[in-house]
Structure 1
């Protein structure tokens, strides 16, 4: 296949909005081999491994842990002769909330180079769908006695991570797991019984960075307290501090290693060269949002208005636009096959909807990827119909969840 057929960086906006990024078309075997090499390089000589979701919340956890361990700083400085946009990954989406799976097809260049300077605290990026792979790699490539942290990630079932967690516990001196998602009680108990230290914060009150900040036995300075606070503002979709959108976008659009070192140096007040980079990227971001909002449809489900659309876009802003048009809950279906589900004060069952279609998350923010894609013909149909089958599957899940909630209410009223 010609490279230009899968390179979405230069596509016209209308086409870019409906097709997945280059990462979608990478074979899993190639991606696995590259991730093996990158993990081995990152762990060489490392005393600590941090497996984290590479969004603003997960990367804030890495920054906190590196600070607590006194890890060397490696702050990037832009070359004045370079275009800051060209120096970073050409991703077309804005950040996914931590509730959402990070799908390789959401970005144009998903495979990053290892950090140029070795760290004693190694960053191992992972998504909710491959946390077990990251645990296995740390167990294989990490030194005996390494401290292992898992941050901002939650397995849907214990059997997904059972063997890999056991291997990590055999290699590492300890495994500490910090998160704020909705955990199944049995899964949490099994992780603890296996020997890991698990701390799960209230998903309505804390982000994972909050959990790390209060859990580590280290006296953090005010800059790191502010980092956790502003990260929470976006992660819980409070939107009271405009700097939180900057953090979220920068975490998505740049290399994870760069993000961690920049916030360690500057905190939440990003330097001018980063703000210029964000301004340039947001021109396309807003155009992609406009495309997705223009495709919005609304359905009445059990008295709730559910907005649904399709496109490669920043789902939080698109969901907010649908909320302003009367949606109690919103769904943004992505070209890579995943979907983001957002709720409001009126609808707080997003995690239950996602749980019926291979996902999970929070009451007001969740993500999923329905298990309905058997071959490339299914994906071709997904792109040409703008996600018609995926939309129907998720809307059916809404109907089931709403009906179950109504039945539970009726049963309680009869007691």
Structure 2
């Protein structure tokens, strides 16, 4: 296949909005081989490995742990962010802002360049990026390539079932001196119990009050500079979608658009007040971001389901802003279906069962923020249909899940009323 057929960086906006990025078309075997090489290089000589979601929250955890361990600071050159932008590099995620997908199976799908080079300067605290669907692979790689006695931290990631990580966690425990797992997502009691019984120091924060960076900040026995307390607070502002501090959107966008390793070192040096060169880079990238948001909002439809208004749309876009636009149009909950096949589900005070909807279609997350990837894609013809119909099958499956959740909630309400009487 010709490279120009899968490179999406130069596509017209209308086409870019409906097609997945270059990373979607990479064979899994090639991707896995490159990830093996990169993890081995990152772990060479490292005393600590941090397996983290490469969004602003997960990367803030890495910054905190590096600071606590006194790791060398490797600040990029002032113009490196803009230069990276020329290549449209992005971490493994499936849209302009999948930074806060919760507990969801996400293809490496829409990243322009999903396989980053390892950090040029070796760190004692190595960063091992992982998305929620492949945390077990990251654990296996650290078990294989990490030195005996290494400390392992897992941050901002949660397995839906213990069986998904059981064997890989056992292997990592044989290699590691200790494993700490810091998160703020919704965990099943049985999963949390099994992870702790395996010998992991698991700390789970309240998903309505804390982000994972908060959990790391309060869990590490270290006297952090106030810069890091502020970093956790502003990260929380975006991760919990509070939106009270405009700097939190800057952090989220910068974490998505730049290399994960660069983000960690920039926030260690500058904190939440990003330098001018980073601000200029963000402003430049936001031109396209806003245009993609406009495309997705223009496709939005509102459906009535059991007394709730559900907004649904399709496109490669920043899902939080699109969901907010649908909320302003009257949506109690919103679904943004992505070209790579995954979907973001956002709720409001009126609808706070997003994680239940996602749980019915191969995903999970928070009551008001969740994600999923329905298991409906058997071959490339299914994906071709997905792109040309703007996600019609995926939309139908997720809306059916909404109906099931609403019906179950109504039944539970009736049963509670009967029990009371």
- In which range does the TM-score fall when normalised by the shorter chain? over 0.9
1:64 shift after superposition: 0.3
Structure 2 equivalent of residue 15 of structure 1: 15
Structure 2 equivalent of residue 343 of structure 1: 347
Over the aligned positions, Cα root-mean-square deviation in angstroms equals 1.3
Q: Secondary structure at the match of 1:173?
A: strand
Task: State the distance in 2 between where 1:17 and 1:80 align.
Answer: 27
Structure 2 equivalent of residue 55 of structure 1: 55
1:88 shift after superposition: 5.2
Task: State the distance in 2 between where 1:265 and 1:287 align.
Answer: 32
Structure 1 equivalent of residue 206 of structure 2: 202
TM-score by length of 1: 0.98
Task: State the distance in 1 between where 2:318 and 2:127 align.
Answer: 25
| Aligned residue runs from structure 1 range 29-40, under 5 A | 29-40=29-40
Gaps of 5+ in 2: none
Q: Is the 8 A contact 2:217 2:232 kept in 1?
A: yes
1:95 shift after superposition: 4.0
Q: Deviations over 1:65-93 (max 9, x none)?
A: 00000000000013499756316516861
Q: Residue 390 of structure 2 is aligned with which of 386, 389, 395?
A: 386
Q: Residue 371 of structure 1 is aligned with which of 375, 399, 403?
A: 375
Q: 1:333 to 1:367 in 2, by over 3 A?
A: same
1:97 shift after superposition: 1.2
Q: 1:375 to 1:219 in 2, by over 3 A?
A: same
Task: State the distance in 2 between where 1:239 and 1:101 align.
Answer: 26
Aligned residues between the structures:
415
| Aligned residue runs from structure 1 range 4-403, under 5 A | 4-79=4-79, 83=83, 85-86=85-86, 89=89, 93-99=96-102, 100-403=104-407
Q: 1:81 to 1:398 in 2, by over 3 A?
A: closer
Task: State the distance in 1 between where 2:142 and 2:100 align.
Answer: 25
Q: 1:204 to 1:245 in 2, by over 3 A?
A: same
Q: Deviations over 1:90-139 (max 9, x none)?
A: 68613431415553112111100000000000000001100000000000
TM-score by length of 2: 0.97
Q: Which moved more, 1:314-323 or 1:83-92?
A: 83-92
Gaps of 5+ in 1: none
Task: State the distance in 1 between where 2:208 and 2:185 align.
Answer: 9
Q: Is the 8 A contact 2:81 2:278 kept in 1?
A: no
Q: Which moved more, 1:223-232 or 1:86-95?
A: 86-95
Q: Deviations over 1:266-314 (max 9, x none)?
A: 0000000000000000000000000000000111111000000000000
Task: State the distance in 2 between where 1:85 and 1:375 align.
Answer: 33
Q: Which moved more, 1:87-96 or 1:32-41?
A: 87-96
Q: Secondary structure at the match of 2:187?
A: coil
Q: 1:82 to 1:336 in 2, by over 3 A?
A: closer
Q: Is the 8 A contact 2:64 2:217 kept in 1?
A: yes
